[in-house]
Structure 1
């Protein structure tokens, strides 16, 4: 791809569900003040079963070892590399200017409401070696170092993409954790985690089915249950929900042991437990945007759960809740595309976080760069590329 600020980019993502590596390819081209994104397709490849098991057993509240961390850093890096090579070959015609890897979060260290550090595994050298392309990785750490929460980082993408849309449009991602980008009239939008989306739902489903089901497909089990007000009240009593934004959380807090502790010794039918967890996600998301949002644009795996989406709509009467697919961004590829856009910014030396969005003291260029086969390195601001003010998604030619 040629032209001012033009790159063919592959974005790689694996979220808090830690079940697959998502790759999204796109062409990015700067046209005056607009960054034009043309999707080229996306892939979702499950982790090898043995690697996923090792990941699960290393996640909080479990303990782990340096050997396991090394094995996971290598194994995840090789898994990302294999998916990246497929994406370059199958989606990009055999050539990509840049690969951007989020890696796999193992731990997000939050203490006293502030992010102290964050750990993503998936060594980028494996990706550079497999594709020959330079790789941007480690995007969260610089934001944390600058005083930000390090998550969610999709705020810049959301703000550019939804710029100019009438009203107050909130972008919502329903992954393992739910996060929102909320516009503010007096400055940059806030980007923060509202609480669990699928994290507790998936953990509960595996628990009540003895591991037979990894998740509640289409919310079928939850749809047959009834919400238990007493349990919902206990779950809503979690202090995280009352903390001011920006804020971030993860499976370090919202895991199976946490849930079982709040359920207590009372026997609750599986369907009622899942129905109550659906209500928890819908309520906490709605509470975060109630009175502000005139429209919600949702993406992520949770949008494939009609029971969850219906509960969210019921919590936000009069506020349209639509999917990102309706606006040209495939819901399953959105986060990978967002990281592709962040990597584009890094390549040209541009900040990847809007002022105040994550709580960082100042805007920073995100990530580190692993050179590709020919040693190509970012031109940075020497390329003369100015920050775009909007993102235009164009259909593939």
Structure 2
């Protein structure tokens, strides 16, 4: 009887041990699948900041464990000399295109230097007060989203001043797609600075490496660039942004529609600025495609003066439409409806061409080409880009 009990308890102990082992393996496996953004990997970059005069290029998305990167670094006694603020401001509360001046952050007392006012590139006198710059902003993987233009100018300023530039990487929520026309040099602007497709499939750190490697910086000095990778990241992973990257991109669905709907900014059509669902609806007061109605109103911080404000618009509700990459059918459908009414669709052609990085897209739509024909026209350029970007990838390619 004693022997049988001993064997029984040994068996129970062994089974319990196996259970704990399996639970531990499962927990570790789950933990390894969690995306850990560059800013959270403090051990990778804190040693580079100790004893240095540090500046940050950050906004509301620059969080670490639910705390802002600024607060984390101040707690670590890092000497933050200034904060450079991109479009929408340090707190992300300003309208698209709204210029703002430099000031002082009321919470921390740190100097705020505007990168979206009179100057988009800080002077050498400002840079002389610094030893290292950190860039940590959530991007959405679209060429005309201006945070990457801000990064370019800051990289250039850092190179000119001989200052190290550190990019803390974050996932690209549109990272599975490479599509759209590659920028033509004559259409270069702040909403398109690089010879990359509209959807480039790169994270900001990968793009930073490409900007440096392709010698796109106008500087006589070589940039000291450091990147901190995202742990456990793959391009085809679904990544829901924990904080909206700008006032009019409130959710993952809007982010997925953004590459397709932003072209409507160069038309008379509303895409929901001034509503609770920006970049998820399309509408107009005279030309109607669909039967969904909405009325844009002033919403400070998101759209203080939205297009067609206070007018009842009729159009399409896209909130249940699954978007994958660049969908040209929306533009084609609405352009055709405007043509029937003999109303100009691209009423801001110069802006449209800047967004597209070419005038070929606008002309192709007006001429009646199909989406398939248009997409075929830029395929050769996309193939060249895919080869060119390979040396700069930090994560496995899927294209």
Structure-1-length-normalised TM-score? 0.26
Look at both structures and tell me which one has the larger radius of gyration over its CA atoms: 2
Structure-2-length-normalised TM-score? 0.26
Judging by fraction of residues, say which structure has more strand: 1
Bigger relative CO (Cα 8 Å, ≥ 6 apart): 1
